[in-house]
Amino acid sequence: LYQSKRKYELALDAYHKADKLSHHSALCQLKLAVVEWKMGDASSALGSTKNAIKSAGGDKNVALTAHLLRAKLLVQMSSKATDKKVKEAESELREALTLDPNQPVTHFSLGMVLLKQERDAEGIEELKTYLSLPNLDPKTAREAKRTIEHPVWGREPFAPDFSFVAHDKQTVSNRTLRGKVVLMDFWGTWCPPCRESVPILKSVQKKYAEKGFQLVSVSSDDDEDVWQTFVQAQHM
């Protein structure tokens, strides 16, 4: 319940208690990893995924999920394609494939990791394997097809097409932002590092506003009243 309400510190405490009562449960360790990741503590999340894999025993589903999350964390923590963390992520995904060779998301993730390492032929082959499997997520399938056509998108950051009405009632889209240097900040009022960064981001916006710079903040909050109150209090 705490986790669903994004009260992550309370959720973390509850999962630690559950883990202690269960004498180190793989499921608890996996849940801890997810909450730590949501809180921005990637290093702790990485340790919890490792513990989950060790404790999984014959529970292939938990082990598979832990390997996938561990791979995702390693890629996020890497600074460049040659970072050893990217290679570690590949190893985690190959371990996941030994647990379930027909898991679509594993083939997709492995394909993207291989493309990140500029191993285009191998990466495209994995993405094609992903597309050959049943019950695919339509959005991810579109991304796979697009990446096969343009492999560079698998290793370079880019913004997908988007359009929305912002807090000030103005429409924001790729078209309206074209020609500017844009910083897209994904945040939430529930996220401590996000809250701490607000004064810095406001300072950057003020400093470069007249030089073709635009800051776009996208909140993941579910409660609009909480979001509105925070935005108004911080003069965002």
Please state the φ and ψ torsions of residue 155, each to the nearest 5 degrees.
-130, -10
Question: Which uninterrupted H or E stretch holds 4?
Answer: none
pLDDT score at 168: 85
The tokens describing 105, both together, are 């998301």
The tokens describing 181, both together, are 């240097």
User: Which has the higher per-residue pLDDT, 155 or 44?
Assistant: 44
Looking at the chain, the whole-number percentage of residues with pLDDT higher than 70 is 100
Of 142, 140, 216, 202, the closest CA to residue 173 belongs to: 216
- Tell me: the pLDDT tens digits for 107-160? 999 999 999 999 999 999 999 999 999 999 999 999 999 999 999 988 887 777
- Tell me: the pLDDT tens digits for 177-188? 999 999 999 999
Q: How confident is the model at residue 11 (pLDDT cuts 50, 70, 90)?
A: very high
- The residue type of 52 is A
Q: What is the mean pLDDT of residues 225-236?
A: 93
pLDDT score at 26: 96
Q: What is the mean pLDDT of residues 34-56?
A: 95
Q: What is the mean pLDDT of residues 211-217?
A: 93
* Average per-residue pLDDT for the chain: 94
- Tell me: the pLDDT tens digits for 21-37? 999 999 999 999 999 99
CA distance 28 to 18: 7
**Planar angle of CA 44, 49, 51, nearest 5 degrees:** 95
